[in-house]
Amino acid sequence: MLRLEGVSVDIAGASVLRGVSLVVPPGGRVALIGRNGAGKTTTLRALMGLLPLKGGRIAVDGQDCARVPAHKRTGLGIGYAPEERRLFGSFTVQENLLLPAEVLGLPKAELQRRLEAVYDLLPELRTFAPRKAAGLSGGQGKMVALGRALMVGSRAVLLDEPFQGLAPALALRYAEALARLRDALPDVAILITESSPELLRQLVDTTFVIERGEIAAL
Ligand SMILES: Nc1ncnc2c1ncn2[C@@H]1O[C@H](COP(=O)(O)OP(=O)(O)O)[C@@H](O)[C@H]1O
Ligand SMILES: [Mg+2]
């Protein structure tokens, strides 16, 4: 369960998030919709502890995160697929998938178990596994970023505009993968941002709209 209560964030003196409250229950599929510059990425970065809060609180499964630094948030079981993917180009796909889970110090057998689970959910990644990430298309990279988030997201997964820039065929496969997550990960809270609600309509059960840093009524 992810809970934001009255979260405010300032960036460079501008108030970018103003009293944002939202909840993603265990197993919930929640969309955060807003146009460019509305504050979607800032909301996810605040959840990951990458930006200081000016006000409000963030809790994961009831635990207040105020004192959990960014590098420990993954350890809470939160996977994050940022908008711009951030893969290591000189690493293989499999190495990219493993990296955050290895940083957590998970035992080898657990790493292998999670990797197999991700390959079962996203079979294309098994075929990409030995390829260098630098050789992937933007859309393939998004799929890897999703897999990497799933490797550590035992409680929650945050996906920042996953459909942006995807060719229609790949967008369809990505949507199918998200639909499979629904059944395969019934307890994981999933928060997905997009600029338009259309692509997510079939995939989520709750939608929040953010406008100029504030949650708006639907
Ligand atoms: N590093 C930054 N420096 C200055 N302003 C920023 C920075 N990051 C975000 N902003 C501002 O914060 C607002 C929200 O940005 P963002 O969360 O990235 O929006 P979204 O992801 O919804 O497009 C925008 O108005 C943007 O200009
Ligand atoms: Mg953004």
Q: What is d(CA 78, CA 81) in angstroms, rounded to the nearest whole number?
A: 10
Ligand 1 within 6 A of CB of 13: no
pLDDT of residue 170: 87
Q: What is d(CA 133, CA 131) in angstroms, rounded to the nearest whole number?
A: 6
Tell the residue nearest (CA) to atom 5 of ligand 1. Answer: 11
Give the ligand with the smallest distance to the CA of 43.
Answer: 1
Ligand 1 within 6 A of CB of 73: no
Ligand 1 centroid, distance to 131 Cα (angstroms): 33
pLDDT of residue 6: 97
Q: What is d(CA 99, CA 111) in angstroms, rounded to the nearest whole number?
A: 10
Q: What is d(CA 213, CA 122) in angstroms, rounded to the nearest whole number?
A: 34
Q: And the tokens for 161?
A: 């505009």
Q: Contact, 58 vs 4, CB < 8 A?
A: yes
Residues 157-207: tens digit of each pLDDT:
999 999 998 888 889 889 999 999 888 899 999 999 999 998 898 899 999
Q: Contact, 189 vs 24, CB < 8 A?
A: yes
pLDDT of residue 217: 73
Residues of the chain with pLDDT > 90: what percent? 82
Q: Is the pLDDT of residue 85 over 80?
A: no
Give the ligand with the smallest distance to the CA of 162.
Answer: 2
Ligand 1 within 6 A of CB of 41: yes
Q: Contact, 174 vs 181, CB < 8 A?
A: no
- Report the phi/psi class of residue 27: left, alpha or beta, with left for phi > 0 and alpha for psi in -120 to 50: left
Instruction: Looking at the CA of residue 161, tell me the nearest atom of ligand 1.
Output: 21
Ligand 2 centroid, distance to 105 Cα (angstroms): 30
pLDDT of residue 139: 87
Ligand 1 centroid, distance to 130 Cα (angstroms): 35
**Structural domains for the chain:** 2-87+138-216 (3.40.50.300)
Tell the residue nearest (CA) to atom 17 of ligand 1. Answer: 39
Ligand 1 within 6 A of CB of 50: no
Ligand 2 centroid, distance to 192 Cα (angstroms): 11
